[in-house]
Amino acid sequence: MRILKILVVLLVALYWSLMCSSKTQQGQADHDHQHEEIVDDNHSEEEGAHEEESGEIDQDHDSKSGSADHNHETADIITVEGDWEKLIGLETMVAKQMSIELIISVPGQIVPNQDQIAIVSPFIESSVNCAFVNVGDRVKKGDLLLCLSSPEVGILRADYDKAKAELEIKKQNYERKKKLFEENIIPSKSFQEVELEKKVAEVNYNYALKKLIALGIKKDELDNPPTGHSEAVGSTVHVYAPISGVITHRNASIGQKVDLSSKMFEIINLENVWLEADVFEKDLTKIKIGQKVKVKVSAYPDENFIGKIFFIGNTLNQETKTIKFLVKIQNKSEKLKPGMFANTNIVIGEKENTLVVPKNAILEDENLKIVFVKEGEGYHRHVITPGIESDEYVEISSGLEPGDVIVTKGNYQLKSKLKMTGVDPHAGHVH
């Protein structure tokens, strides 16, 4: 009986223990569920707020983006009013496709044509009697430059006059004896003697003449002395211009003693000049004799002087790794002067059907190459990619289309006006 009571008490205690545990778990579950609902509600509210804020940001971004796009479309367009185009001298041309010359550009220098330089020096020790030209004077071949006086020439002239007189006498005697011999009045021996005397006289005359000619004295001057000054004969030596050209140096004053080493005058003919330049070793195979060359100098930047290569050196400069070549240039206007530095463009080929613009149409803006294109009532800034260059034109690889009207003069003023608007230099219209 007592054991039964103990079992009943244990069962009741177990039952209440189980009931309490069940209620505790249920309460914890309810608490967790309520916590999850609170968290979910808070999370939903945060997501809604985030979505609302995101929508406002996107809307603001879209608004700003649209504004930026609008600015990009209009900020680099310049509109002009009134006579502003005329005031700045604005000029345009149509971008077109054409052939462009392939060139190698090297620096060069104008030098005299060595075949057209004459140094005037005396052939004998003498002194200057008179001078007829000065530095800068233009002379023709054969013009009288100056006269010299030399005692030795006086002696040679006397010998010449004596030989000439003896020859005249011997000739007359020969003609007289010849006539007598033909009429059988004198024997052949007498005729042979006068014939021999005439030949000896001819030799003496020619010898005296050649000595004077070797000193620069002309035979015609000896027989017919020039007029115009009193010292036309005797010890006077007349010096004439050996070539046509310009007197570039004079060292001849009245009474000055001169000898064979004296440089009295320098004459240069500038109607034909040379250009001296160097080409790098890597480009040597691209040039050849007879090749066309275009030359520009700073004095005449808009003018091309055309020449041809006539000499290519055989020795490589070890320091610069270049080889010298020479160009012959016609210079009838004499604009090219020795000593001028020149931009030398060697034409090595041609590229056909290429979109090109003049060099002066392209400007540099923040490391970008730009041109201005007329579009409607304004001028639009185009960023372009240049290709190969000739002496006048540049190939356009991108940024323009054939038919675009581009600004060739006045583009600097357009660029300045565009800068005043504060446009981003990296913005620009491209095709």
Task: Select from 377, 361, 367, 368 the least CA-distant residue to 411.
Answer: 361
Is there a contact between 219 and 213 (Cβ–Cβ < 8 Å)? yes
Rg over CA atoms, the chain: 51
- Tell me the average pLDDT across 231-253: 86
Domains 104-113+270-350 and 118-268 share a fold: no
Q: Measure the CA dihedral 295/297/302/307, to 10°.
A: -20
Is there a contact between 133 and 145 (Cβ–Cβ < 8 Å)? yes
pLDDT band at 227 (very low <50, low <70, confident <90, very high): low
Task: Give how far Cα 389 sits from Cα of 133, 349, 357, 359, 363, Å.
Answer: 48, 12, 10, 8, 15
Residue 12 phi, psi (nearest 5): -65, -45
Highest mean pLDDT (candidates 156-170, 352-366, 399-413):
156-170
Indicate the class that CATH gives domain 77-98+352-420.
mainly beta
Is there a contact between 405 and 398 (Cβ–Cβ < 8 Å)? no
Residue 226 phi, psi (nearest 5): -65, 150
- Global pTM exceeds 0.85: no
Gap between the Cα atoms of 338 and 1, Å rounded: 147
Task: Specify the pLDDT at position 14.
Answer: 61
Task: Select from 377, 361, 374, 368 the least CA-distant residue to 410.
Answer: 361
Task: Specify the pLDDT at position 9.
Answer: 54
Q: Reply yes or no on whether the pLDDT at 352 is more than 70.
A: yes
pLDDT band at 76 (very low <50, low <70, confident <90, very high): low
Task: Give how far Cα 287 sits from Cα of 245, 272, 291, 296, 314, Å.
Answer: 32, 22, 7, 19, 13
Q: Reply yes or no on whether the pLDDT at 428 is more than 60.
A: no
Task: Select from 362, 353, 367, 359 the least CA-distant residue to 381.
Answer: 362
Element (H, E) at 26: helix 2-74
Q: Which fold has domain 118-268?
A: OB fold (Dihydrolipoamide Acetyltransferase, E2P) (2.40.50)
Indicate the class that CATH gives domain 104-113+270-350.
mainly beta
Write down the mean pLDDT value for the chain. 80
More confident call, 289 vs 359: 289
pLDDT band at 197 (very low <50, low <70, confident <90, very high): very high
Task: Select from 290, 294, 288, 302 the least CA-distant residue to 275.
Answer: 294
Task: Specify the pLDDT at position 70.
Answer: 36
Encoded amino acid at 341, one letter: F
Q: Which two tokens stand for residue 379?
A: 């001028």
Task: Select from 334, 313, 338, 166 the least CA-distant residue to 249.
Answer: 338
Task: Please name the residue that has the structure tokens 């059988």.
Answer: 184
Q: In the chain, where are the structural domains located?
A: 77-98+352-420, 104-113+270-350, 118-268
Task: Specify the pLDDT at position 419.
Answer: 77
Is there a contact between 311 and 327 (Cβ–Cβ < 8 Å)? no
Answer positive or negative: Cα dihedral of 123, 128, 129, 134: positive
- Tell me the average pLDDT across 243-271: 93
Gap between the Cα atoms of 147 and 250, Å rounded: 14
Share of the chain above pLDDT 70, in %: 77
